[in-house]
Amino acid sequence: MHEYTVFDAHFHIIDHTFPVVENNRFLPDHFDVDAYRGHAERLRVVGGAIVSGSFQEFDQSYLRDALQRLGPGFVGVTQLPASVTDEEIIDLDRVGVRAVRFNVKRGGSESIGNLETFARRVHDVAGWHTELYVDAAHLGELTDVIGALPAVSVDHLGLSEAGLPVLLDLVERGVRVKATGFGRVELDVRAAVRRIMDIDPTALMFGSDLPSTRARRPFEDADIDLLIDEVGEDDAEAVLRTNAERFYRIAGPR
């Protein structure tokens, strides 16, 4: 096992005690805080970002509960309608939510058509960034809009080989990238990681993507070893922890 402490920048909590909605005829299995903790301890996780999935739509109850149970060092990435009030955004910020997600790939979130106005609004109201789950190949016409937003990250290395040129263009414009979901992407992970690191070593953030719903291959511990091997020991700590801690505004010493 690796020697580094980890900020897991992308994982899901699926607690059937709270609303879970079938998406594209798929209903995920139960994977609660206790189940995640078993993996987190082994991976030396000291904090992370709970990401709302398509199957949770706009429900905040599961996220509030999970953040309270996981405690300091953990933050939330939620899905919200553009009709949400400023007061609701501020209240979610108080419990640890730090970003809004647009799930273009699976749905369950606000429309990408509201990306620019909503991304700017949540940043102005609470300092949140915006996360995109989308095949980067579909973002070509939005690169100028995305590149001009205050803070954005793209999930799962942009998903596809066809999307890699667009993703790299966005990295040059300051967009961050999650090194997650290696078992669900359609690209050469090693080559993509090297090219992102060549442009901006601060852009890449590791996430386990647990429990890897709908992935062809679930997360494996060896995925961290692959990442360390590609980024090198000098950048491993940043990619596994500190890049994401800065992006998610985690305060205090580790």
| Global pTM value | 0.95
Q: How far is CA 74 from CA 106, 110, 155, 177, 247, in A?
A: 24, 24, 18, 19, 13
User: Within a domain: residue 112?
Assistant: yes
CA distance 92 to 209: 22
pLDDT tens profile 120-152: 999 999 999 999 999 999 998 899 999 999 999
User: Within a domain: residue 106?
Assistant: yes
User: Within a domain: residue 251?
Assistant: no
- Write out the residue range of the structural domain in which residue 97 sits: 6-245
User: Within a domain: residue 131?
Assistant: yes
Tell me the pLDDT band of 105, cut-offs 50, 70 and 90. Answer: low
Tell me the pLDDT band of 253, cut-offs 50, 70 and 90. Answer: very low
- The total of structural domains in the chain comes to 1
User: Within a domain: residue 148?
Assistant: yes
> Stretch 171-200: mean pLDDT, rounded?
97
Q: What values do phi and psi take at 28, rounded to 5?
A: -70, 155
Q: CATH number of the domain that 241 lies in?
A: 3.20.20.140
CA distance 210 to 31: 9
User: Within a domain: residue 166?
Assistant: yes
User: Within a domain: residue 191?
Assistant: yes
User: Within a domain: residue 1?
Assistant: no
